[in-house]
Amino acid sequence: MQIFSAIVGIVVIFLILLDAFETVVLPRRVQRQFRLTAWFYRRTWRPWRAIASHINSPGRRENFLGYFGPLSLIFLLAFWAFGLIFGFALLQYGAGEHFQLGNEPITFGALLYHSGETFFTLGYGDITPTSGIARALAVLEAGMGFAFLGAVIGYLPTIYSSFSRREIEISLLDARAGSPPSAAELLARLGNHPQQTGLDRVFRDWEHWAAEVLESHLSYPALSFFRSQHNNQSWLGALTTILDATALVIAGVDGIRLEQAKITFAMARHAVVDLAQVVNARYDPHAPDRLSAAELAQLRQSLGERGLKVRDDGEAEAKLARLRAQYEPYAQAIARNLLITLPPWVHPERRKDNWQAGPWDRAIQARGLGGLGGKAEHVPRIDEHF
């Protein structure tokens, strides 16, 4: 029995250390069939998502979902710590020869307590290992506890630094593509600028953003569960908007060059395909069409009113359909898994951007002081403000 306990303890410790190494240290996606971290997130995310699906208010639902990412990190670290404590308790049980104050019998529960105080270096001394192997295990576990603390200190700042860099570009998209963003709004605001410098610069920035999100979310998959600051923004929504806009440009918009759009589309498509595998998304052949014929006609009309002409021949429509088929199933699968609402191609009605809204707007308007975000019949665009 003691030998079996020792073998099980070695296996548990090895699996925990391997999983922690692959999650925290190894900078690439692990494609092994079974991983403790993946198992942990599947077992915790599904009930959390099920509870969230019963919350009717979109704002409250997003707030509830926003807790999962940070909390999951805390529970994952606690899961690793308990696994190591349990594994060392099994090893100590296999090693035997401990002394307890008061001459009380040494049970597995007592050894689990001893393992916990050793891991967190409390050192009460009420249970003392007397054999050489048991003492060596106690020293090893204490050192591993220090290493675990160091990993936590380094892991959490790295996660939040990557999250912060991701959210900066998402916030910048607000004034460029609306809230929530849409491909039609992005092209309408930037597509008819002289020499196309503004649109190309945005596409170039988002090419780099997609590459950085791909790298950070492959290295730290927990970032996929972190929600954005505003309820109408998300990393997937922003990525999908860029894919929509670049696909539309590649399919054909008069006066807009497509060189940078092609490069940005390739990088963004690479990101959405790989990240669908990270979140264990599943293909759904019955997913709804994001751009019906009526919505495509509305998209053309909306852009036409803003000075942009979208090609409407059969070849352009077929090209757009082929491009959409390369990324929309992945984006829809991720959205379904993470309970994220994908942005529309074009808003049915004009909406205020996040920067136009404020908690004092109605009071300011009531006093006759104006205000950019007050309730009004006409919602001005950014270029109508300045």
Distance CA 345, CA 187 (A): 11
Give the type of residue at 269.
R
Looking at every residue in the chain, the average pLDDT score rounds to 86
At residue 131, does pLDDT exceed 90?
Answer: no
DSSP string over 273-327: HHHHHHTT----TTPPPSS-HHHHHHHHHHHHHTT--B--SHHHHHHHHHHHHHH
At residue 372, does pLDDT exceed 60?
Answer: no
Neighbouring-strand partners of residue 128: 99
How does residue 260 score in pLDDT terms, banded at 50, 70 and 90? very high
Q: Is the Cβ–Cβ distance between 85 and 93 less than 8 Å?
A: no
Distance, CA of 275 to chain centre = 9
What's the average model confidence in pLDDT over 256-285?
93
At residue 154, does pLDDT exceed 70?
Answer: yes
What's the average model confidence in pLDDT over 242-268?
94
At residue 82, does pLDDT exceed 70?
Answer: yes
Max CA pair span of the chain: 89
Nearest to 381 by CA among 188, 248, 227: 188
> What confidence tens digit (pLDDT) does each residue in 11-70 have?
999 999 988 888 887 766 666 667 888 889 989 999 999 999 999 998 899 999 999 999
At residue 382, does pLDDT exceed 60?
Answer: no
How does residue 85 score in pLDDT terms, banded at 50, 70 and 90? very high
For residue 101, what pLDDT is reported?
64
How does residue 104 score in pLDDT terms, banded at 50, 70 and 90? confident
Higher pLDDT, 21 or 328: 328
What does the block give as tokens for 76?
Answer: 């994952």
What's the average model confidence in pLDDT over 229-237?
90
Q: Is the Cβ–Cβ distance between 221 and 37 less than 8 Å?
A: yes
For residue 386, what pLDDT is reported?
45
How does residue 156 score in pLDDT terms, banded at 50, 70 and 90? confident
At residue 342, does pLDDT exceed 60?
Answer: yes
For residue 369, what pLDDT is reported?
54
> What confidence tens digit (pLDDT) does each residue in 158-215 have?
899 999 999 999 999 988 888 889 999 999 988 877 667 888 999 999 999 999 999 9
Distance CA 148, CA 120 (A): 10
Query: What pTM does this model have?
Result: 0.84
In eight-state DSSP terms, residue 21 is I
DSSP string over 88-108: HHHHHHHH--EEEGGG----H
For residue 191, what pLDDT is reported?
81
Per-residue CA distances from 175 to 59, 190, 196, 385 (Å): 22, 11, 17, 12
Percent pLDDT > 90 in the chain is: 45
For residue 375, what pLDDT is reported?
47
Nearest to 77 by CA among 158, 140, 23, 132: 23
Lowest mean pLDDT among 126-135, 136-145, 174-183: 126-135
What does the block give as tokens for 120?
Answer: 């967190």
Exposed, middle or buried, 141 (CB in 10 Å: 0-12/13-18/19+)?
buried
